[in-house]
Structure 1
């Protein structure tokens, strides 16, 4: 007894319009021939032609959702009992069982057909009305492309915003650095000006308490100047050339430490200040003070002369620190605010 199976898209049904007769090919009934329907001997004694293989291919393609038999009439195919008994229930095949009607063919109902392309469609896509797997795949690809493009655009915007923020921060820092540098320069300039002004005030106060040792003078020899006319080989003081008798004044208030003749220095007066500094007035024509006498700034203590080892009338002035070291009189006087 042969079994009859109905597959969509294989041909016409059993209604008599078109059909296939039962065919049970074996090695004994079918002579091997060269050509399209050549039959080969199988292990179980059965043979399969290219037509049977074609039926299997159609079933496989239908199960994979790759083809649709919608709109095509069914066809009856007869298979040997030995094969039909071993075939699985068509309803249990993935993607095929849903295509078959639960009702018997005796009821006269038409077989239920559904597009095989619904295989691979997600539940969400089905709820949205999608029935074609290819169209669903296309929609998913487009959606993924849009998501990737949106992510790339967002990344590009983020990079642009980051670059703009870094540029703005760099510009702000540059402006801040320039402002700080300008403020520092102005502050330094103000400090220098304030320092100069304070020094000027200090010198002005000192000048009020210090005095130039004589008037109407000309500087003829400076401290450290070399020459054979000095026994030490260099000049040890500052020479103020002036007419004989020009008044010699106390540079600052102090006490007369010595007054009298001093060899090559001629008549010399030594004025000691409160810090121990000594001021020597040499080559005087006359001395007007005595030892131990207190004098104030600007007091006359003698007269310009040409006594001792000289070539003409002048005041030879020397400055010695408390330890007896000689220093440059011009620098010392200028440090007291005097303009020499």
Structure 2
């Protein structure tokens, strides 16, 4: 602590001599206090053994500091000349006990300090006060630094935990996104594979059907050639007794060959009223194919024929408006079906 202390003054060099008022009584011996004559006092007021002329203790340190600041400096006992003081017995007998003097007992230490060796031998200087204050400040600063370091450590730990949580959240979101993308890709791949499989199956079915139809086409034949379709199955009209057309008309010039669509047996061959000359060809499965309005017939009932064999010729007999081949197809149960669809089912193009 800085202060405007006055300059130290040199102590007076003149020795003080007691006057007659202070002279001892006649016959009295000079009394000088010594260690042996001072009665040790135990308890709160302790006698301090003097060394180098200056008593030291924690209390003396505080008192010395205050005195040094007030006087503008500290003077040690070595700086002053020795003064001899003698007191008469009348005065010494009336001196109060040292223990009863206020403030004196605190400047003394008992013999236990001497026995334990707990003495402060450092000289009383202003540096002692500064060192004490500096040590206190250092201790306080050290505690503050420790608290600050602890707070910073906790903050860093919390920040690290927050960073770890954020990183974990980002990694979790990334993993969920990757899983969703993987599932979407898997779903798309499965759908694509299923579609490709279905397409492959359909393609296989088409190929199988084409092969089947090719085989059937080899065993089936169109009933005539160089034709024009004029009336289809189910077509309505007043010219037909049933009110609709029951077959498929292949218009062709008279005498155009009429062929067996498949191998079978001729069930009947002759005149059939509005159908004119008609041949009924029964196939192996029981189906019947009717050839009507023929101009002539080259087979008879009970005759077996093969695919593509000529069994008659196109004509205009019966109820007709011009030469054509009226073709009907009946199931084994007798119901009529569309001849065009039936022929396409056999691999033929009508």
**C-alpha deviation, 1:251, in angstroms:** 0.6
Structure 2 partner of 1:100: none
Q: Give, in whole Å, the separation in 2 of the partners of 1:192 and 1:18.
A: 113
1:238-261 per-position Cα deviation (integer Å, ceiling 9, x unaligned): 011111121111111111112111
Q: Which residue does 2:60 correspond to in 1?
A: 13
Q: Which runs of 5+ in 1 are unaligned?
A: 6-10, 20-77, 80-102, 120-129
What are the ranges of 5 or more consecutive residues in structure 2 without an aligned counterpart? 1-41, 47-57, 67-101, 104-111, 122-131
Q: Is the 8 A contact 1:305 1:315 kept in 2?
A: yes
C-alpha contact 1:117 1:134 (8 A) present in aligned 2 = no
Matches within 5 A, 1:82-121: 104=113, 109-110=119-120
Aligned pair partner of 1:169 in 176, 179, 182: 179
Count of equivalent residues: 248
For residues 149-188 of structure 1, give each alpha carbon's deviation from its aligned partner in whole angstroms, at most 9, with x where no partner exists. 1111111222222222233333334444444444444333
Q: Deviations over 1:38-66 (max 9, x none)?
A: xxxxxxxxxxxxxxxxxxxxxxxxxxxxx
The DSSP-based 3-state class of the residue aligned with 2:211 is helix
Alignment match, 1:300: 310
Of 327, 334, 338, the match for 1:328: 338
Is 2:198 the partner of 1:188?
Answer: yes
Structure (1 or 2) with the larger CA radius of gyration: 2
Cα distance between partner residues in 2 of 1:15 and 1:323: 139
TM-score (norm 1): 0.63
1:15-164 equivalences under 5 Å are: 17=64, 104=113, 109-110=119-120, 132-164=142-174
**1:97 corresponding residue in structure 2:** none
Q: Is the 8 A contact 1:271 1:280 kept in 2?
A: yes
2:273 is the counterpart of 1:263: yes
How far residue 222 of structure 1 moved from its aligned partner, in angstroms, is 0.6
Preserved CA contact (<8 Å) 1:286 1:305: yes
CA distance in 1, matches of 2:63, 2:344: 141
Distance change in 2, residues 1:229/1:206 (3 Å): same
Q: CA–CA distance in 2 between the matches of 1:322 and 1:307?
A: 27
